């Protein structure tokens, strides 16, 4: 009887100690791995850093206010969707037919609810619509006109397609079309036309994870092509232990089910965010011939930025409330796991 009472007191004391140590919220974001240093001037770089900082601050404000990781992900991504420097929302690239088609997805680790949209043309903030699909429909993915009809019913902002036109993106399409017509080889790395996305992963004070991804797709894409970004398990994933958002050559992320693959390695092989991210993004994807990057966040608050391109717009913010941002591979930042292409591809030790 005495032993039972003592044991109960020990349990109660440990419970009080646990309650006194809430989870420290973390937010991690990316603005795409399709980065070429020479395409940015000093003003561009300053604007990109400022946008990343604003996204981090807006998202983290949600976490500090005790709101959910989902709230933080959406708040951060809306900033990037509204900025023309990123291939999502306002900065979406053009299809072969001169249109803008956007995709987005979101997933919660707690309960693993998910929502996604693809091939939308008039939704100002596709991540908001993806969340509405998750929370206010019985479906996971809606596409095209049907998705926009649902957006209208939900009171989500629709804009004229001309809103998404930017001269920089238009000229990028014209350059590729001219090279195709002349049968010229592009002067840019192959990955540039395939990679361009925004993403966020967050851990809230309750220990719940969420992930979201939003993109304008692939420059010069045809035939209603859809990449990995709106596909749960390929470009976006969250479970109780891991959250992932990718930015890469979508066909390879789909074939390797990159997002759920990384998180499965965390769960089943007990790998860290860095080990699992490197094994898939800098390992399996590259071996197949793809490129890209990702952000990975685990429930212990550890995160990683695996990528294998010249740069990836990225950032994080944690307990001290200070935003940290980087643009290029040689910037060097906490969490970076960079593969230089001359290096042999290998799976890290567990």
Torsion sign, CA atoms 209, 214, 218, 219: negative
Q: How far apart are CA 126 and CA 155, in angstroms?
A: 13
Return the H-helix or E-strand segment holding 262. helix 258-268
- Strands ordered across the beta sheet of 198-203: 141-143, 114-120, 102-108, 209-215, 198-203, 26-30, 311-317, 324-328
Return the H-helix or E-strand segment holding 115. strand 114-120
Enumerate the β-bridge partners of residue 336.
Answer: 305
Contact by Cβ (8 Å): 117, 230: yes
Residues catalogued as catalytic: 197
What number of residues does the chain have? 350
Return the H-helix or E-strand segment holding 345. none
Q: Is 145 helix (H, G, I), strand (E, B) or coil?
A: helix
Contact by Cβ (8 Å): 30, 197: yes
Q: Who's near 330: CB < 8 A, 6+ residues apart?
A: none
Enumerate the β-bridge partners of residue 132.
Answer: none
Q: How far apart are CA 126 and CA 272, in angstroms?
A: 31
Q: How far apart are CA 109 and CA 69, in angstroms?
A: 9
Q: How far apart are CA 334 and CA 229, in angstroms?
A: 25
List strand residue ranges (DSSP E) for 252-335, in order.
292-298, 303-307, 311-317, 324-328
């Amino acid at each position: 009887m005495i032993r039972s009472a003592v044991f109960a007191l020990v349990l109660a004391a440990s419970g009080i100690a646990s309650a006194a140590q809430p989870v420290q919220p973390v937010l991690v974001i990316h603005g795409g791995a399709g980065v070429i240093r020479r395409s940015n001037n000093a003003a561009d770089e300053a604007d990109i850093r400022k946008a990343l900082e604003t996204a981090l601050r807006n998202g983290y404000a949600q976490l500090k206010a005790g709101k959910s990781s989902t709230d933080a992900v959406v708040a951060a991504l809306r900033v990037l969707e509204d900025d023309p420097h990123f291939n999502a929302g306002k900065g979406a690239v053009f299809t072969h037919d001169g249109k803008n088609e956007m995709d987005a997805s979101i997933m919660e680790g707690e309960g693993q609810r998910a929502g996604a949209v693809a091939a939308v043309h008039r939704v100002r903030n596709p991540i908001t619509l993806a969340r509405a699909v998750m929370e206010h429909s019985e479906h996971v993915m809606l596409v095209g006109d049907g998705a926009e009809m649902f957006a209208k019913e939900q009171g989500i902002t629709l804009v004229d397609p001309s809103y998404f036109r930017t001269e920089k993106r238009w000229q990028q399409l014209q350059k590729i079309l001219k090279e195709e017509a002349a049968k010229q080889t592009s002067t840019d790395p192959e990955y540039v036309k395939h990679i361009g996305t925004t993403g966020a992963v967050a851990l809230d004070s309750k220990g719940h994870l969420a992930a979201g991804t939003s993109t304008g797709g692939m420059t010069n894409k045809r035939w209603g092509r859809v990449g990995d970004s709106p596909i749960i398990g390929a470009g976006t994933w969250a479970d109780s232990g891991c959250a992932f958002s990718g930015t890469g050559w979508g066909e390879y992320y789909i074939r390797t089910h990159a997002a759920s693959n990384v998180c499965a390695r965390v769960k089943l092989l007990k790998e860290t965010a860095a080990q699992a991210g490197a094994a898939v993004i800098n390992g399996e994807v590259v071996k197949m011939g793809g490129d890209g990057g990702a952000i990975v966040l685990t429930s212990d608050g550890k995160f990683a930025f695996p990528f294998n391109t010249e740069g990836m717009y990225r950032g994080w913010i944690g307990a001290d409330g200070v935003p940290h941002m980087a643009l290029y591979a040689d910037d060097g930042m906490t969490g970076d796991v960079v593969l230089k292409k001359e290096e042999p591809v290998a799976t890290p030790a567990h």
